[in-house]
Amino acid sequence: MSLSERAPAPDTAPGLTAVTGEGDQYLTFVLGKEEYGVPILAVQSIQGYREVTPIPNTPAHVLGVINLRGAVVPVLDLRRQFELPAQFGPTTVIIIVRPDEACERVVGLVVDAVSDVYRLRREGIQPPPEFGGQIDAACLQGLVPVDGKMIVLLELNALIGQQASAASVAASLLHPQDSHLPG
């Protein structure tokens, strides 16, 4: 996702506080104790969590597929991708994103809860530090301090491309028992 200036996006997530100001809009969501952000223009819709059809022989963080208005859309569990313990609560939602405008590929991300919409200036974004292999740094676009907390901006293309990365496949092959499917 480029960080160039964009025309203000329509408020795609009603009920969330829109922060006025300059810069690109980001939708943030909560995962464990952290808040993450994705460019709002990539967000297509937010769906309540529902039963997912698992796909056999895929990495553990690929929960499966759902029916989104007739299309079969894969769903990734970000908790599992970020190696947090699996947890589903009443606020768990699936954010449907289309990471690449040029491509019609659509993917769902399971997160603990949606949080807010922020306008973030490009200058305020710091490059991501090394995480010592915990999370692939390519998935992170940068860190932004907002109102005394930190928001981790995600690089959607890398995040979704990672579903087939050798590391996660190896992990699922090494620990097949760890990957209990929900539902």
- Relative to beta strand 93-97, strand 43-48 is antiparallel
d(CA 69, CA 161) in angstroms, rounded, equals: 24
Residues 143-182 that bind other proteins (CB under 8 A): 163-164, 166, 169, 172-173, 176, 179-181
Q: Which of 65, 84, 135, 137 binds other proteins (CB under 8 A)?
A: 65
The residue to which tokens 């589903």 are assigned: 88
CB of 36 to other proteins, least distance (A): 21
When binding is defined by CB under 8 A, the residue of 10, 14, 15, 70 that contacts other proteins is 70
Sites for other proteins among residues 84-123 (CB under 8 A)? 104-107
| Secondary structure letter of residue 126 according to DSSP | B
- Residues 41 and 45: their CA atoms lie apart, in Å, by 10
Least distance CB 65 / other proteins (angstroms): 5
Helices (H) and strands (E) in the chain — how many of each? Answer: 3, 10
Binding-site ranges for other proteins (CB under 8 A): 51, 53-58, 62, 64-67, 70-74, 104-107, 163-164, 166, 169, 172-173, 176, 179-181, 183
